[in-house]
Amino acid sequence: MQKVIVEAFGGVDRLHLAALPDPCPTGQQVLVRLTSIGMNHADLMARRGEYRLSSGEPPFTPGLEGGGYIEAVGPAVHDRHVGQRVLLSLDAPVHPEGRVGTYGTHYLTSAAQTVIAPDALPDQLLGALWLAYLTAWSCLIWRQGLRAGQVVLLPAASSSVAIAAAQIVRHHGGVAIGTTTSALKCEKLRAMGESAYAHIVCTSERQWRKQVKKLTDNGVVDVVFDPVGAGPLLQSAIHLLAQGGTIWIYGLLGKPDVLDVTPLIRKRAALRGWLLDELSALGSEPVQRAYQHVLDRFADGTYALPIAGIFPLRDVREAHARMEQGAHIGKFILVP
């Protein structure tokens, strides 16, 4: 078995591929031979030491997603079998001693922490769906209760989470407006088959807020789903927000800055934080319902994840460097 180890916080040179003994499942455990590991900004933040709540102190293995084939099962496992394709559940990386990352060739986990994959789902997507689609679905649909006709502003429109959110918003009858700083990304997103945005706006243009207002019936947006959480973009989102609207912060890609929240009071609006852990903490039934929704919509073609790049696990340093450049659209995937 090989695993990526972060031996000290820092740059991509801190990522090392280590050979370890093959684990043997016991009791109700299964050993999954990974074919797909979804990359997320949280992985980069963990490597740099900016997400210690998740990573802990070095040495550690990054990674929050994974999927592949069951290679071995423990003696008490009766509902999984060798050769079965599975996705790791949301809580699979969470262990009593802390998170155990997925960047590796194999993953040892409880059989209950696997989800059987539908035949139509390609191997390379088995470990790349949950963080994007469930982050968006659980916040916008399960928690926010998005209604048909409502307008949702999606900053960082080229990210896998925002692309997933746009598809989810459209499927539930809402209107998704994506924003990005890059004019080139705007053009590419408009041309992409996976893009479900009703409109794309480039925030590097001086009058972009006026553009957004013109694109809506009443000049405001009902919901903002924001991974930046700071700076002029968040201030603009507050000004664009409708009476009683909500801004959800699900990431911290921006740098802390002074923010005028006075309009929130006048609008009786809300600025709220969102963590996907809130869904997984509810227990099995609502989580399983969320899993099934995503898998069903992939099966019928409603949802489709654009892949920005696929890297062999041995090229993890290059993959992290490419992701940090921020020029991609969609999801990066590691393949052991």
Given a contact cutoff of 8 angstroms between Cβ atoms, the answer to whether 57 and 9 are in contact is no
Instruction: List phi, psi (to 5°) of 154.
Output: -125, 90
- Contact indicator for 157, 185 with CB cutoff of 8 Å: yes
CA distance linking residue 8 with residue 1, whole number of Å: 21
- Asked, as a colleague might, if the bond just before 59 is cis with ω within 30 of 0, I would say yes
Residues 242 and 314 in one domain: no
Q: Does a structural domain hold residue 27? A: yes
Q: Which of 227, 251, 273 is the last residue of a domain?
A: 273
Q: CB–CB of 63/45 below 8 Å?
A: no
- Look at residue 96 in the predicted model and tell me its pLDDT: 62
CB burial of 41-56 (b: ≥16 within 10 Å; e: otherwise) equals bbbbbbbbeebeebbe
C-alpha 128/C-alpha 164 separation (Å) is 12
Distance CA 180, CA 102 (A): 30
Mean pLDDT of 87-110: 89
Does residue 295 sit within a domain?
no
CATH label of the domain that carries residue 324: 3.90.180.10
Containing domain of residue 141, as a range? 137-273
What does the pLDDT look like over 55-84, one tens digit per residue?
Answer: 889 999 999 999 999 999 999 999 999 999
The confidence score (pLDDT) of residue 95 equals 72
Same structural domain, 122 and 143:
no
Residues 102-129: pLDDT tens digits? 999 999 999 999 999 999 999 999 999 9
Mean pLDDT value of segment 128-140: 96
**Residue 195 in domain:** yes
Q: Residues 25, 54: one domain?
A: yes
Q: How far apart are CA 221 and CA 212, in angstroms?
A: 8
108 and 47, same structural domain?
yes
123 and 199 in a single domain? The answer is: no
Within-domain flag for 75:
yes
Q: Is 84 left (phi over 0), alpha (psi -120 to 50) or beta?
A: beta
Same domain, 79 and 15: yes
Domain-located, residue 292: no
* Residue 299 placed within a domain: no
pLDDT of residue 97: 65
Q: Note whether 121 and 144 are same-domain residues.
A: no
CA–CA gap between residue 298 and residue 167 (Å, rounded): 11
Q: Which CATH number is 188's domain given? A: 3.40.50.720
pLDDT of residue 12: 98
185 and 265 co-located in one domain? yes
**Are residues 113 and 37 located together in one domain of the fold?**
yes
Within-domain flag for 241: yes
- Answer whether residue 300 is part of any domain: no
Which of 250, 273, 296 terminates a domain? The answer is: 273
Residue whose tokens read 């998740």: 54
Domain count, the chain: 2
Sheet holding 221-226, edge to edge: 199-202, 175-180, 151-154, 221-226, 241-249, 270-273
| Residue 259 and residue 321 in one domain | no
Q: Are residues 19 and 37 in the same domain?
A: yes
Q: Are residues 253 and 143 in the same domain?
A: yes
CA 177 to chain centre: 19
Among 273, 291, 313, the domain-final residue is 273
Question: Tens of pLDDT along 156-196?
Answer: 999 999 999 999 999 999 999 999 999 999 999 999 999 99
